[in-house]
Structure 1
């Protein structure tokens, strides 16, 4: 069964994919026109978030950042910042995140991304950009540079792994784990000390953020049979080319146990409910209106989604144990 055939029962997921692809196509055309004739500058514009995962709707903002090769390239992009902002706003009216992690002013020389991973200067913003480049990044401009940079980062992570079969890329896995734990901790800060609303953030954390984390774990688990670094790099890159939902489906289909595909159907069913809710203006507004944890008890919608998220989590765990035998190194690596 092909992925699009599988999606016939998941209308909201399919609609979000179509919406995302159509918007991205229009934005890419305009960006190409904006930077036409400036081939001497090497850079790539990357979208993440709901557009990167192909889960966007009219309720979505556009998260993006820019990686470039040199200071001259950075200065050129900065000179075009207002034009790029206007271009994005023409297609997507909702403002992007306010933390500085995203937005058309988020420009970084890529060599700096490869430095200090895990060091004292490795801030949350750096970790976030690295992980989103890998886990959900999609190029809005210059796919060749995007793939070059992503492969450089993947190689940085897997270079410390000894060649041979049954080897887990622990450097990569540990940073995926660190990123997920960071955003769960960051959630508590945002709602308790920064005054951000609680409801929608909590539901996103329990669905889309968890799915992204899980798809990253599957990627690391799936490539242990690639003994040579070049083969492993190619496999990881191919997995990261697919959005999280599609990646989970394709990995499961490849391994083919019928009971595992049944679990994927259950996972998609719960995610369908999540997407249909946050893509609906009134339902999203209700979730955004839950300002504090105590207010959740007043929302039937939140209560239903909360229960669905618990089942969603259980099915993700069941899928992991369905796909991989007990002696697979992913299990011990997730703990130690």
Structure 2
């Protein structure tokens, strides 16, 4: 079995820092169900190796008002064959003409190191300003691009270099979500789930699924198979674990933070809980709930065995290329896409059992906050 290292807290780097001693929830889950997931561990190991390369490549670039932030498979610790780096220069300070030059240096260094550029959407590979992420939550100015950057910053991101701007931005985002949520702070409901935050995560997921169809049409089906596989698995994973992160504010939060909210209407404890909780990768969040709530072993095996198979498939260069080049006319007969369908159905069965059947509390929160 490949040795794992627990994920670092938000804003930390790996260079010169000893890993924090933590209980790895995925290893705990493995021990509980009696299975191993080698593709998950190998992807994690490769991500840590890539972190080390990036630490050296990007050394000396960020400043106290800017941070280089990566998203996607690297941030999720799911680095496989042909993974690319989705990155942005996150700026939390006054506008400075030098910021553009800094972003160009980041792009140049990554290219010189042989990393593939971000996708063609334009969301990554340039600058992002914290003001938009914090101040434009909802409303006409909260564009798809802005929502995507904000939600992914919460759910699958990692900073390189000086983390000051990254950490400040996350704190301000959570402060906005929670302090503006009057139902959370002053409502009489016994459950305390941040509704504004979970609604934004749900909105993002629905937007992704609709945009998938738009890309299918606009790009004449090019890359459809690979995008479909990711939508069914990695995109659905961060949606599910985004909801679990919100539910953790009711199910896994400290009693001190809960009482501070109930008695003083203060969200500080919940903000700190969220900042701590999101240092976990999506798979670690999923494993945490499976272990802490003692979810059925069958459900845990469905979820992690299928995701292990998904990462193994992406790491197979021939299969990945087949999905990338698959035409819409070949979908019904293609064996590789048939494999994707089978994996995705098992994963969906596991999610359905987790959210609706195996845990009464989780089912009730899902129906109340996630459906109506």
| Shared fold (TM-score, shorter chain, > 0.5) | yes
Runs of 4+ in 1 over 3 A off after TM superposition: 1-8, 326-330
Question: What residue is the counterpart of 2:110 in the other structure?
Answer: 88
For 1:179 and 1:325, how far apart are their aligned partners in 2? Answer: 24
Offset from partner CA, 1:239-259 (integer Å, 9 cap, x none): 2111100111122222235x2
Following TM superposition, by how much is the alpha carbon of 1:69 offset from its aligned partner in structure 2, in angstroms? Answer: 2.1
Following TM superposition, by how much is the alpha carbon of 1:221 offset from its aligned partner in structure 2, in angstroms? Answer: 1.1
Offset from partner CA, 1:65-93 (integer Å, 9 cap, x none): 122123444x3221123321122124443
Following TM superposition, by how much is the alpha carbon of 1:291 offset from its aligned partner in structure 2, in angstroms? Answer: 2.8
Cα distance, 1:252–1:144 mapped onto 2, change above 3 Å:
farther
From 232, 235, 250, the equivalent of 1:206 is 232
For 1:330 and 1:120, how far apart are their aligned partners in 2? Answer: 28
> Is 1:31 equivalent to 2:58 in the alignment?
yes
Cα distance, 1:300–1:256 mapped onto 2, change above 3 Å:
same
For 2:114 and 2:241, how far apart are their aligned partners in 1? Answer: 27
Following TM superposition, by how much is the alpha carbon of 1:300 offset from its aligned partner in structure 2, in angstroms? Answer: 0.7
Offset from partner CA, 1:84-121 (integer Å, 9 cap, x none): 11221244432211111011x2x122122212321112
> Is 1:57 equivalent to 2:80 in the alignment?
yes
Question: What residue is the counterpart of 2:137 in the other structure?
Answer: 117
Provide TM-score, normalisation by structure 1.
Answer: 0.90
For 1:146 and 1:204, how far apart are their aligned partners in 2? Answer: 26
Return 126-135 or 225-234, whichever deviates more.
225-234
Question: What residue is the counterpart of 1:223 in the other structure?
Answer: 249
Cα distance, 1:144–1:252 mapped onto 2, change above 3 Å:
farther
Question: What residue is the counterpart of 1:275 in the other structure?
Answer: 311
Instruction: Please tell me whether the aligned partners of residues 355 and 362 of structure 2 are also in contact (alpha carbons under 8 angstroms).
Output: no
Superposition pairs for residues 257-336 of structure 1, below 5 Å? 257=295, 259=296, 261-292=297-328, 294-321=329-356, 322-325=358-361, 328-336=364-372
For 2:26 and 2:366, how far apart are their aligned partners in 1? Answer: 29
Q: Which runs of 5+ in 1 are unaligned?
A: none
For 1:21 and 1:287, how far apart are their aligned partners in 2? Answer: 26
For 1:276 and 1:219, how far apart are their aligned partners in 2? Answer: 26
Question: What residue is the counterpart of 2:286 in the other structure?
Answer: 248
Following TM superposition, by how much is the alpha carbon of 1:56 offset from its aligned partner in structure 2, in angstroms? Answer: 1.1
Q: Report 1 or 2 for greater relative contact order, CA contacts < 8 Å, sequence distance ≥ 6.
A: 2
Question: What residue is the counterpart of 1:155 in the other structure?
Answer: 175
Following TM superposition, by how much is the alpha carbon of 1:324 offset from its aligned partner in structure 2, in angstroms? Answer: 4.2
Following TM superposition, by how much is the alpha carbon of 1:264 offset from its aligned partner in structure 2, in angstroms? Answer: 1.9
Instruction: Please tell me whether the aligned partners of residues 49 and 136 of structure 1 are also in contact (alpha carbons under 8 angstroms).
Output: yes
For 2:227 and 2:99, how far apart are their aligned partners in 1? Answer: 32
Q: Which runs of 5+ in 2 are unaligned?
A: 1-22, 252-256, 262-266
For 1:92 and 1:48, how far apart are their aligned partners in 2? Answer: 18
From 55, 65, 90, the equivalent of 1:67 is 90
From 4, 11, 15, the equivalent of 2:42 is 15
Question: What residue is the counterpart of 1:235 in the other structure?
Answer: 273
Cα distance, 1:199–1:179 mapped onto 2, change above 3 Å:
same
Following TM superposition, by how much is the alpha carbon of 1:57 offset from its aligned partner in structure 2, in angstroms? Answer: 2.2
Instruction: Please tell me whether the aligned partners of residues 47 and 62 of structure 1 are also in contact (alpha carbons under 8 angstroms).
Output: yes
Offset from partner CA, 1:10-33 (integer Å, 9 cap, x none): 111111111111111221233223
Superposition pairs for residues 91-106 of structure 1, below 5 Å? 91-103=113-125, 105=126
Instruction: Please tell me whether the aligned partners of residues 225 and 324 of structure 2 are also in contact (alpha carbons under 8 angstroms).
Output: yes
Following TM superposition, by how much is the alpha carbon of 1:63 offset from its aligned partner in structure 2, in angstroms? Answer: 0.2
For 2:83 and 2:104, how far apart are their aligned partners in 1? Answer: 21
Where 1:88 maps in the other structure, the secondary structure is: helix
For 1:302 and 1:252, how far apart are their aligned partners in 2? Answer: 29
For 2:95 and 2:362, how far apart are their aligned partners in 1? Answer: 52
Question: What residue is the counterpart of 2:10 in the other structure?
Answer: none
